[in-house]
Amino acid sequence: ADDLWMARYLLQRVAEVFMVNVTFMPKPVHDWAGIGGHTNYSTTSTRNPGGWDVIMKHCERLKARHLEHMEAYGSDNELRLVGNDETQSFNRFSYGVGDRSASIRIPVKAAARKCGYYEDRRPAANMDPYLVTRMIVETTLFYDENGNPIPEQSKGKGKVEKGLREDVSKDGH
């Protein structure tokens, strides 16, 4: 997230030098494809054996809280997510292997290996990367497939707390 904020800053400063305008609006030109802030995500559990089942569980959890995510994924994003130009509609959720028109795209390699990462294609270019990261982590680790908080995980006790510590420490963050 820090890198994205810095990259945006640097892009704007360089654009000033060349007297070029920069926009992060999701759909700056009506008939063109919009500008997304696609976000790749994985945990230790998705990258290891058995990861495919975890990815599927994550997708179902993301589906259950789709509209809450859309509220946090950038302003005017409904202008970009209209169901064409390799996007899913703003109010619909889907996931699929190699499907660039899905809300969540699972890479072909991840499907073949039955583990790996996936890409949330819903965030707009003007999204707050900290908020998007928070929403994805919160939903995939602390909510169930019906969009309800998981009590033992929400309290930070037991297996999930250990799993979260493992995911965080193994990822180096």
Share of the chain above pLDDT 90, in %: 82
Q: What is the pLDDT of residue 63?
A: 98
pLDDT tens per residue across span 105-125: 999 999 999 999 999 999 999
Closest CA to 80 of 119, 118, 120, 121: 121
pLDDT digits (tens, 9 = 90+) for 131-158: 999 999 999 999 999 999 988 765 554 4
Q: What percent of the chain has pLDDT over 70?
A: 88
Report, as an integer, the average pLDDT of 45-59.
Answer: 97
At 95 the pLDDT is 98
pLDDT value for 120 = 98
pLDDT higher than threshold 60 for residue 20: yes
What is the mean predicted confidence (pLDDT) over 39-67? 97
Across all residues in the chain, what is the average pLDDT? 90
Average pLDDT in the 36-50 region?
97
List, for residues 63-89, the tens digit of each pLDDT value. Answer: 999 999 999 999 999 999 999 888 999
